[in-house]
Amino acid sequence: MALSEEKKVTDKNIPGPIMTKVSSFPSMPRAAIKLRELLAEEAPSADEIESVLRSDPGLATNVLRLANSAFFGVPRKVETLKHAVTLLGVKRFAQMAVSASMNKTMDKAVEGYDLSPGELWLHSIAVSNTAEALARQKKLAKTDDVFTPALLHDMGKLVLSQFVKEERQNLERIMSTGAPLDEAENLVLGTDHAEIGALILAKWSFPDNIVNAVRWHHHPERNNNPTTKSDMTYLSNLMCQPNSGGESGVGQSAEPSVAVLERLAIKSDQYEAIASKTQSWIRKLSSTLTFD
């Protein structure tokens, strides 16, 4: 589904210094591109996926580390890539490989948002896997890719971090009045991390419905064209915040959108149960998985 004209992501009003950062932002890792192409196939080949991983020994190592983290609950130690495919299935294995391939791009300190090295990446893995778990529970069509926007929803923080750090005092002054961080970002910087993330994905030639999901992952009520992708990205991100509420000041209500819950046919008690389980997953992920 294409974005409506008034909501289509554009760089028209983005301040010049920020757009310069967006323009110079690295391309999506080659391995991630190839893996996404394989995932788009109806029946991706395990051998093809392994071939991509074997071309990058560091990536293969990271995939095995991820597979062996308590977060994924694999019943026994994963020794080889073939073993991982057997235990996880081809699609799940490929998604894990995409997550691992984004490590070099996302496994950085994001000082403006007080994120130490690895925190942004681990959060993104948690959100993408929560979205997939929701998709399985709701028995969504296999072609409905909720994994990708959920994994990449916070890419804009990598660009805005420097500007947020420089304007921290002004941002905190505005937030002290009760405004969420993304609203403060717009007032002080002229844009917010969700919009910048959407621009990065547009630069990477992602389809509009994925760009749209990233753009409105804090404000589903402002999305003129809500889809399962956008609703799942919003809700999964919300579930992955402390106490299943919004990050402190990050621009999201602690309570889930009633409209989103209704569209996804999720009752409030179901949401609370899933959110509680998600927090348990995240604790396992953060306590057992570290990358050099």
* 65 lies in the same domain as 189: no
* 208 lies in the same domain as 249: yes
Q: Domain range for residue 156? A: 1-26+107-292
- For position 88, what pLDDT does the model report? 83
- For position 244, what pLDDT does the model report? 41
**What's the whole-model pTM score?**
0.86
* 39 lies in the same domain as 80: yes
Q: 44 is written with which tokens?
A: 């991706």
* 86 lies in the same domain as 204: no
Strand partners, 224: none
Closest alpha carbon to 60 in 119, 101, 30, 102: 101
Q: pLDDT tens track of the chain, all 292 residues? A: 333 333 455 666 899 999 999 999 999 999 999 888 888 877 788 888 888 888 888 888 888 888 887 667 677 788 888 888 888 888 888 888 998 899 889 988 999 999 999 889 989 988 998 898 888 887 776 657 899 999 999 999 999 999 999 999 999 999 999 888 899 999 999 999 999 999 999 999 999 999 999 999 999 999 999 999 999 999 999 988 865 433 434 445 578 999 999 999 998 888 888 888 887 777 777 665 554 4
- For position 39, what pLDDT does the model report? 82
Query: Total domain count for the chain?
Result: 2
Q: From residue 84, how far is each of 89, 148, 155, 266 by CA, in Å?
A: 8, 21, 28, 32
CATH of residue 126's domain is 1.10.3210.10
* 121 lies in the same domain as 159: yes
* 186 lies in the same domain as 203: yes
Q: Cβ distance 153 to 214 under 8 Å? A: yes
